[in-house]
Structure 1
Amino acid sequence: MQQKTSAPSLQPSVKFVLITVFLDILGIGLIIPVLPRLVSQFAPQADAQAYWYGIIVAIYGIAQFFCAPILGALSDRYGRRPILLLCVFGLGVNFLLMTAVTSIVWLVVARGLGGVTAGNLSVANAYIADVSTLENRSRALGKIGAMFGLGFICGPVLGGVLGEINTHYPFYLAALVSLTNFAYGCFSLPESLPQHMRKPFSAQKANPFTGLMGLAKLANVGPLVIVYALSMFAQFTLQTTWVLSTELRFGWSPLQNGLSLFVVGVSSVLMQGVFLGRLIKRIGDARAVLIGLASSTTALLLYGLATQGWMMYALILCNVLGFASGPALQAIFSKAVEPQSQGAAMGSLTALASIMSVAATLAGTFLLGQVSHQAKGSVLLGAPFFMAAVMQGLALTIAYRHLRAAPAGA
């Protein structure tokens, strides 16, 4: 049983972690609307831009796949605070590095280095797990998702505005935000994992494949690893092709894409920061997973069928329930793992998400490159969204069969 005797004194530190996550995602959100445009400076052709953009996002995910479990295991050994601060500092330096690249190859290298320290979200999740009870674990992890949404409310819009002036301005601001966040954390972030609850670092457990196998063997929740993987594939297909797709389909500018991601952030905050706690209390984690997956599957299909830009905004708002499945799934896994292994478990989930981001990015951008010659408004330009809908539908099917047969796992 997880001990929470120290939780009351640590609860105020949750605010620091949430602010850290918000500023971190704000920095990432700043560059999303302009990253394709930065790629286009070195690869001006539409099909080449799609392929190189896919490679850049994929190399980031590959680096994160191998490094996130290591960072999670290190946080189980040395504490959450030093690892979290290291990740934030590395992110800020990486943003600066990306403004100095002179070719598409160096842009790929710089983005890969950014993925090395991209395990901050998994460490933040472990931090929250340290200071939350089993009963409020879903709600606490939902707060992380809400900060994620807030970062996407502010970051993409501001990045889109700055990107209209100069492509590098969002990167400079993102670096400033991250490094300021690092300085803030150095003075304000306490440690959440007591010395007596730490465990020795194990290279075997830091292996991403070993960690995933361990999750798959957890009692009553193992099959949900497949659900999480398919869901992440669908989400990353959406995220990594959204800007390119809307530019090709509707002729959207960085500012328009920033506004659309602003609406995504609002929907995420409404669900994960306002409604999720009450929803979980009313229907439980298992039903929240199923409802969220069903909503996302429908939304992804309709994204692909949309022929007008305004339809995308309407669909985002209608998919509020889709943001419930992620925190609910993470809570199910977290409740099945011993307290001393929260960092490794969250790192394994981050690694799984990372490898899915690689697969989704390569598949999604390849599909988009194949149909990039289609006229604006063509339904074929929504091909990546159709693929994502199929994957999310498979996740829903597996989750329904498992959770119906073994509800105790949730």
Structure 2
Amino acid sequence: MTAEAAGVAPRGPLTFITLTVLIDAMGFGLIVPVLPALVSELGGMPMNEAATMGGFLIMSYALAQFLFSPVIGGLSDAFGRRPVLLLSMAGFALSSLGAAAASTLAMLFVARILAGVTGASYTTAYAYIADVTPPARRAQAFGLVGVAFGMGFIVGPALGGFLGAGGSRLPFLAAAGMAGLNLLLGLLVLPESLPRHLRRSFDWRRANPVGSLRRLSTLGGALKRFAITYFLWMLAIQSLHGVWSYIVAYRYGWSPFDIGLSLTLVGVLAVLVNGLLVKRAVDMLGEWRTAVAGIMAGTIGYVVHIFAHVPALAYAGIIVGGLGGLTIPALQALMTERASATDQGELQGGLATLASITVVAGPLIFSQLFAAFSGAEARLHAPGAPFVLAALLSAAALALMLAAERPGKG
């Protein structure tokens, strides 16, 4: 009897995928505390102007993911998950080395674009989980991915802030080293999860952002509704992912170490929520109510951040908003249950395309809001303005879930 037939997921593959996500999250978390300083150094600009350039930098990363996520998902459906994951690990290591060696902003942009292309592999990681995990346990399995992200953001930013004291390039070298070790481990222990009889031919008409989104819209009415909710939620999150380092550096004068400490708390909460609460919440409430509860908590957290004029309120917003970590595992479970085994890679590619759109547009929008409402020339001084928009987007996602007919299983 297979693990899936027995109603459990095989531990070995899930352990490696979780470790892969952990290392990727650590690699990203390592560079977050030093990125504002590096952008400011390479561009020769003050911090509030560096925030705008940082928004374009994140946008270039996301644009690469937007273009390549459906391609990566389609390739994994055609040729298997293993080769796609391994090649992506190698590319991430190279991109980190390139960023460490950057002497101009242009070089940094090239490195981050390569990181975006290879970072599209998380669509394959989610498809891998769907391959080896029975539907009833997928919310818990996706929660483990959230734990890995959280652990990465506990260790990564803290280590990045520590290493950043020795220079803004050192964290990139550490990220490259971890990605290289992960590649070696994958070569040794990662099995293939997609049998040959479940693979389908690669089709460029489907493996592009437009085709991917069109296909996503045809997979069912409920799936479409959840996908819109996912999009609004992910766009709101960009207020934190895109400009948090710049806002807190401006508002409170925080150093890279202080920024890393705040992100460490984010990671701790992600581990607690995904590791301890997701399964219990889904068992007690069902997936739909769990997603609603997460969105409600996130909305409250954004409202707190609007008025966080002192660091204590910033930490309060992090703690309340941390319960928003319930949202994605529950939504992922709701959506994967409504897609066939042969469409899991394509589904994850479509969701990654939606997420990439938010990462393309979000940091640019939120960084422009921050720049417009901060600095000496701002007509209205309100550095919390990005969180106003985030709260509105999150509230819209909540309204969509509440107005929709509740799924029978959740």
The residue that corresponds to 1:396 in the other structure is: 398
- The answer to whether the aligner puts 1:140 opposite 2:141 as a matched pair is yes
Alpha-carbon contact 2:8-2:133 (below 8 Å) kept: no
Alpha-carbon contact 2:299-2:321 (below 8 Å) kept: no
What are the Cα deviations for residues 274-312 of structure 1, in whole angstroms up to 9, with x where unaligned?
Answer: 221111011011001111111101101111211111222
Aligned pairs for 1:150-299 (under 5 A) are 150-219=151-220, 220-299=222-301
TM-score scaled to structure 2, two decimals? 0.95
Query: By how many angstroms is 1:195 displaced?
Result: 1.2
Q: What's the secondary structure of 2:158's corresponding residue?
A: helix
- Between the aligned partners of 1:374 and 1:345, the Cα distance in structure 2 is 46
- Between the aligned partners of 2:48 and 2:303, the Cα distance in structure 1 is 24
Structure 1 residue identity aligned to 2:391: A
- Between the aligned partners of 1:349 and 1:8, the Cα distance in structure 2 is 25
- Between the aligned partners of 2:97 and 2:175, the Cα distance in structure 1 is 8
Alpha-carbon contact 1:237-1:357 (below 8 Å) kept: no
What are the Cα deviations for residues 141-200 of structure 1, in whole angstroms up to 9, with x where unaligned?
Answer: 111111011100100000011112211110110100011111111101111111111111
TM-score scaled to structure 1, two decimals? 0.95
Structure 1: gaps spanning 5 or more residues: none
Alpha-carbon contact 2:304-2:316 (below 8 Å) kept: no
- Between the aligned partners of 1:110 and 1:120, the Cα distance in structure 2 is 16
- The answer to whether the aligner puts 1:62 opposite 2:59 as a matched pair is no
The residue that corresponds to 2:11 in the other structure is: 11
- Between the aligned partners of 2:163 and 2:291, the Cα distance in structure 1 is 37
Query: By how many angstroms is 1:207 displaced?
Result: 1.5
Alpha-carbon contact 1:50-1:365 (below 8 Å) kept: yes
The residue that corresponds to 1:42 in the other structure is: 42
Alpha-carbon contact 2:82-2:190 (below 8 Å) kept: yes
Alpha-carbon contact 1:305-1:379 (below 8 Å) kept: no
- Between the aligned partners of 1:354 and 1:97, the Cα distance in structure 2 is 22
Q: How many residues align?
A: 406
What are the Cα deviations for residues 66-106 of structure 1, in whole angstroms up to 9, with x where unaligned?
Answer: 10111111111111111011111111110000122221122
The residue that corresponds to 2:339 in the other structure is: 337
Structure 2 residue identity aligned to 1:359: A
The residue that corresponds to 1:407 in the other structure is: 407
Structure 2 residue identity aligned to 1:66: L
Alpha-carbon contact 2:298-2:320 (below 8 Å) kept: no
- The answer to whether the aligner puts 1:313 opposite 2:281 as a matched pair is no
- Between the aligned partners of 1:204 and 1:130, the Cα distance in structure 2 is 24
Q: Does the C-alpha gap of structure 1 residues 278 and 379 become closer, same or farther in structure 2, counting only changes over 3 Å?
A: farther
Structure 1 residue identity aligned to 2:211: T
- Between the aligned partners of 1:185 and 1:7, the Cα distance in structure 2 is 26
- Between the aligned partners of 2:228 and 2:381, the Cα distance in structure 1 is 29
Query: By how many angstroms is 1:409 displaced?
Result: 7.6
Structure 2 residue identity aligned to 1:325: T
Structure 2 residue identity aligned to 1:278: R
Alpha-carbon contact 1:88-1:182 (below 8 Å) kept: yes
Alpha-carbon contact 2:96-2:176 (below 8 Å) kept: yes
Q: Does the C-alpha gap of structure 1 residues 52 and 5 become closer, same or farther in structure 2, counting only changes over 3 Å?
A: same
- Between the aligned partners of 1:16 and 1:110, the Cα distance in structure 2 is 26
- The answer to whether the aligner puts 1:80 opposite 2:90 as a matched pair is no
Q: Does the C-alpha gap of structure 1 residues 3 and 212 become closer, same or farther in structure 2, counting only changes over 3 Å?
A: farther
- Between the aligned partners of 2:121 and 2:264, the Cα distance in structure 1 is 22
Alpha-carbon contact 1:150-1:266 (below 8 Å) kept: yes
Alpha-carbon contact 1:7-1:131 (below 8 Å) kept: no
- Between the aligned partners of 1:5 and 1:398, the Cα distance in structure 2 is 35
What are the Cα deviations for residues 259-279 of structure 1, in whole angstroms up to 9, with x where unaligned?
Answer: 100000111111111221111
- Between the aligned partners of 1:99 and 1:33, the Cα distance in structure 2 is 14
- Between the aligned partners of 1:39 and 1:348, the Cα distance in structure 2 is 31
- Between the aligned partners of 1:374 and 1:315, the Cα distance in structure 2 is 26
- Between the aligned partners of 1:370 and 1:316, the Cα distance in structure 2 is 24
Q: What's the secondary structure of 1:87's corresponding residue?
A: helix
- Between the aligned partners of 1:178 and 1:107, the Cα distance in structure 2 is 18
Query: By how many angstroms is 1:379 displaced?
Result: 6.7
Structure 1 residue identity aligned to 2:190: L
Q: Does the C-alpha gap of structure 1 residues 8 and 408 become closer, same or farther in structure 2, counting only changes over 3 Å?
A: closer
Query: By how many angstroms is 1:329 displaced?
Result: 0.8
Q: Does the C-alpha gap of structure 1 residues 9 and 368 become closer, same or farther in structure 2, counting only changes over 3 Å?
A: closer
Structure 2 residue identity aligned to 1:70: V
- Identical-residue share of aligned pairs (%): 37
